[in-house]
Amino acid sequence: MSFQIAVAKLNSPVKDLVVAFTENGTRHIGEVDKDQAEVAEWIEKAGQPDLASEANIQTLNTTITSRTYLVNNSLTAADVAIYGALHPYFSKLQPTSYYAIPSLTRYFDHIQWSQSVRPHNTAFSVVEFDLANAPAPERKAEPPKKKEKKPATPATENSTPATPAAATAAAAASADKPQKTEKKEKKKKEPSAEQSGKKAEKAPAAAAEDSGEPVPSMIDLRIGRIVDIKKHPDADSLYVELQQIDFGEETGPRTVVSGLVKYVPIEQMQNRLLVGVCNLKPASMRGVKSFAMVLCADNTRKATHKDGKDAGIEVVLPPEGAKPGDKDDLDATPLSQLNPKKKIFETIQP
């Protein structure tokens, strides 16, 4: 089904909103044929009378859980059509109801406040959400995989059993040796009173910094710009932004290693704005220490990357007007360094 046919089936004012947003089908309808077909399918769903049924709402909530937008990780007419069609439904919801579908609520609120949508959104009132009192989501990191122990190898037929004489000789030899009954305990060096005082002062501060449930404000997300980049000398799949990602710090750019060679051409990485996780513990990757991580999104729905590279990974784009050093949340107080044993970032990431 084409875009024009799908839009023609919509009722006003959703139809008017989609037409205005796309400038009569000339923008935001998908860059390639596959995306355009998917956009048309979502617009057709937006025109169905049972879109807001309980089953479809739960399906949409699950579908949008790991996505920002419906098609190809970019704002399209599909998002605007679904937003407009769901507006009457969300307008009547009580907090307990939209708390039960957090992903769809987050998505709906994001679309209604989008700067690209607001100028055309005059027929739809803003739906206010009481997010301050929303229940905290349960976040659990995946447990580490345990290595299975190999079963003990049974004795083979070729194994030679010990003779009675040999067993008797071994027992006699062990009897001649004095047996140790207790291991000497190592004397622990007791800290001085001054050292004990310092440890007592530091302990409460360290416990308070990352105590409690992991929350997004613990992560130090900052805007950075790649000013130079090259491939890792010892790994074909790794880029080394060698001391050349500018996060707006007085100490200068950071060394960052990222495994994006198979996903993003080096020409697109040069001078690129990105979002970096800046309070991870520095880690060595093939002999080069990395002091941050480039934030990316997994878009495995795509069969192939539009540039011919392997599908799946895209660099997260900062908002318009962002500059190196900007933080995602000015009110947040991130930890100075994330404790890798607590898996804070792994628990919070989608």
244 contacts 282 by C-beta, under 8 angstroms: no
Mean pLDDT of the region 35-54: 95
Torsion-angle region of residue 257: left (phi > 0), alpha (psi -120 to 50) or beta?
beta
Give the contacts of 39 (CB within 8 A, at least 6 positions apart): 3, 29, 30, 71, 76, 77, 78
The residue that leads in pLDDT, 161 or 140, is: 140
Whole-angstrom Cα distance, residue 50 to residue 128?
24
Q: pLDDT by residue (tens digit) across 297-343? A: 876 554 444 444 445 688 898 888 889 999 876 567 889 899 888 88
Find where tokens 């004397």 sit.
Answer: 187
Is the peptide bond prior to 13 cis by the omega test (within 30 degrees of 0)?
yes
User: Which tens digit of pLDDT belongs to each residue from 114-156?
Assistant: 988 988 988 999 999 998 888 876 656 556 666 666 665 555 4
Helix (H, G, I), strand (E, B) or coil at 259: coil
Higher pLDDT among residues 214 and 7, named by residue:
7
pTM above 0.75, yes or no: no
The pLDDT of residue 186 is above 60: no
Question: What pLDDT score was predicted for residue 206?
Answer: 47
In this model, does residue 158 exceed pLDDT 50?
Answer: no
Question: In 10 A of CB 324, how many CB atoms?
Answer: 19
In angstroms, the CA 20 to CA 10 distance is: 13
**Residue 35 near residue 71, CB atoms below 8 Å:** yes
Q: Is 314 helix (H, G, I), strand (E, B) or coil?
A: strand
Contacts of 139 (CB under 8 A, 6+ apart): 213, 214, 347, 348
- The mean pLDDT of 255-263, rounded to a whole number, is 85
| Residues of the chain above pLDDT 90, percent | 40
| % of residues, the chain, pLDDT over 70 | 73
